[in-house]
């Protein structure tokens, strides 16, 4: 039996994690889940939102499925997500974004992939209070991180038969930092003559994405733009409830949805587990359980396509439990 670290998060995390674990079990696949709690709830007992045992578990098992963890706004502890990505050097945040049959959206031909650099940029949160009226944040972009994320994007394009990689920056303003990121993308593209390459500024990219999303294929972005554009793209395919993701490094992989802990619907049994389930399906493929991954994927897509039992974010009235029971019925 394979062992996978399971971080059930907080907010809606535990509800959607229970649903996903139940669906995987019902598929017939036995996974030994190494449950690791993290976030605000463990601080009191363990003095940190990300105890070492979580990192050690992932280092031992090499792979994790993770539900969202809340990060306090403005004050409080550092993001568990940022710390985790940094500690395990999960340098690539991969977020495929494709229309799913049965989910009505403004567009029907979205099929793009976001490759977000996951370790540096303003997202690293290196900040200081200069004086009472000034604060500053340091944007660090390195050649090493930019080269490897560009290489990841082009490798992905080749492996998955994609045609084009688009580098998204604000290099007209952040001439040195985003300029370096672009320089690295240009260097890497020379090694991939069969993949088309272009560049776009992030503001223009946002406009183009909401007008002509079908024009985009693989997009490679520094961390902060990648974070923001990911949510925009989630909106193109039905919202955060269906947007999957994965953090991938050289040695470890942590699969998690794009969305956060959704405190506004916490504990109401109405969160959509689809994004976590799609992330779990990719995790199963990663650990070579392709048959089970496909079986669950088929049942999920059937449920969405039938459209009888859907969670409120998709226009339905079903609870998380009813929706996951329907997937189990369709397995
Ligand atoms: P959010 O993604 O949690 O929620 C945004 C909106 O989408 C809310 O209206 C929410 O109800 C809805 N939503 C999200 N997931 C849904 C689902 N599965 N089913 C149905 N509706 C869903 O973003 P927000 O509110 O900005 O962040 C909440 C907390 O989550 C913050 O502390 C943030 O730092 C954290 N966060 C954690 C992430 C992670 O653990 N990887 C990623 C993003 C945010």
- Judge if the beta carbon of residue 50 lies within 6 A of ligand 1: no
3-state secondary structure (DSSP) of residue 162:
coil
| Local structure of residue 79 (DSSP, 8 states) | P
The residue ranges of the chain whose pLDDT is under 50 are none
Q: How far is the CA of 284 from the centre of ligand 1 (A)?
A: 24
Residue closest to 70 by CA, chosen among 6, 126, 13, 137: 13
Q: How far is the CA of 262 from the centre of ligand 1 (A)?
A: 4
Q: Where are the domains of the chain?
A: 1-95+240-331, 106-113+121-236
Q: Residue 76 corresponds to which tokens in the numbers above? A: 């409080």
Give the 3-state secondary structure of residue 196. Answer: strand
| Residue ranges of E strands in 53-145 | 63-66, 92-98, 111-117, 127-131, 134-137
Q: How far is the CA of 187 from the centre of ligand 1 (A)?
A: 36
DSSP designation for 197? E
Please give the Cα distance from 253 to 308 (Å, whole number): 34
What separation in Å is there between the alpha carbon of 112 and the centre of ligand 1? Answer: 21
User: Which of 12, 68, 125, 224 has the most ligand 1 atoms within 8 A of CB, as the residue to mutate?
Assistant: 68
The CATH number of 106-113+121-236, from 1.20.1090.10, 3.40.50.620, 3.90.79.10, 3.40.718.10, is: 3.40.718.10
Residues 6+ apart with CB under 8 A from 165: 153, 154, 157, 185, 189, 192, 195, 196, 197, 217, 218, 219, 220
pLDDT tens, position by position, 202-230: 999 999 999 999 999 999 999 999 999 99
Q: Does the Cβ of 260 fall within 6 Å of ligand 1? A: yes
Question: Which of 69, 237, 262, 264 for a ligand 1 pocket mutation test, highest count of atoms within 8 Å of Cβ?
Answer: 262
Tell me the pTM: 0.96
Q: Is the distance from the beta carbon of residue 68 to the nearest atom of ligand 1 less than 6 Å?
A: yes
Locus of tokens 């991180």: 145
For residue 271 and ligand 1, the question of a CB distance below 6 A is answered with yes
Edge-to-edge strands, sheet with 218-221: 31-35, 2-7, 63-66, 253-255, 246-248, 92-98, 111-117, 218-221, 164-169, 196-201
Q: Is 81 in the pocket of ligand 1 (CB under 6 A)?
A: yes
Determine the pLDDT at residue 53.
97
Q: Is the CB of 171 under 6 A from ligand 1?
A: no
pLDDT at 72: 85
What is the pLDDT at residue 75?
A: 82
Domains 1-95+240-331 and 106-113+121-236 share a fold: yes
Alpha-carbon distances of 221 from 119, 181, 274, 291, 293, rounded to whole Å: 12, 9, 25, 33, 29
Angle at 12 between CA 29 and CA 46, to 5 degrees: 90
Long-range Cβ contact pairs of 293-300 (< 8 A, separation 24 or more): 295/27, 295/28, 295/331, 296/23, 296/24, 296/27, 296/327, 296/331, 298/330, 299/23, 299/27, 299/327, 299/328, 299/330, 299/331, 300/274, 300/327, 300/330
Distance CA 306, CA 78 (A): 42
Query: What CATH architecture is 1-95+240-331?
Result: 3-Layer(aba) Sandwich (3.40)
DSSP conformational letter for 253: E
């Amino acid at each position: 039996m394979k062992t996978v670290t399971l971080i059930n998060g907080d907010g809606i995390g535990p509800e959607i994690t229970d649903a996903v674990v139940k669906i995987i079990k019902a598929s017939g696949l036995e996974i030994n889940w190494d449950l690791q709690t993290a976030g605000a709830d463990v601080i009191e007992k363990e003095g940190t939102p990300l105890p070492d045992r979580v990192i050690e578990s992932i280092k031992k098992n090499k792979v994790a499925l993770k539900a969202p963890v809340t990060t306090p706004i403005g004050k409080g502890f550092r993001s568990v997500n940022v710390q985790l990505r940094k500690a395990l050097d999960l340098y690539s945040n991969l977020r495929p974004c494709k229309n799913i049959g049965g989910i009505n959206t403004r567009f029907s031909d979205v099929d793009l992939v976001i490759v977000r650099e996951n370790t540096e940029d303003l997202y690293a949160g290196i900040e200081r209070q200069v004086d009472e009226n000034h604060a500053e944040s340091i944007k660090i972009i390195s050649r090493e991180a930019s080269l490897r994320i560009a290489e990841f994007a082009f490798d992905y394009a080749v492996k998955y038969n994609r045609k084009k990689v688009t580098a998204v920056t604000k290099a007209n303003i952040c001439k040195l930092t985003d300029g370096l990121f672009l320089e690295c993308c240009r260097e890497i593209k020379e090694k991939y003559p069969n993949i088309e390459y272009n560049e776009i500024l992030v503001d223009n990219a946002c406009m183009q994405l909401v007008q002509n999303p079908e024009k985009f294929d693989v997009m490679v972005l520094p961390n902060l733009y990648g974070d923001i554009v990911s949510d925009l793209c989630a909106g193109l395919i039905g919202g955060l409830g269906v947007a999957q993701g994965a953090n991938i490094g050289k040695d470890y992989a942590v699969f998690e949805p794009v969305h956060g802990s959704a405190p506004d619907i916490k504990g109401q049994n109405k969160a959509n587990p689809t994004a976590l389930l799609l992330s779990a399906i990719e995790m199963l493929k990663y650990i070579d359980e392709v048959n089970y991954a496909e079986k669950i994927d088929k049942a999920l897509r059937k449920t969405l396509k039938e459209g009888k039992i859907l969670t409120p974010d998709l226009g339905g009235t079903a609870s998380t439990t009813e929706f996951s029971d329907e997937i189990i019925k369709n397995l």
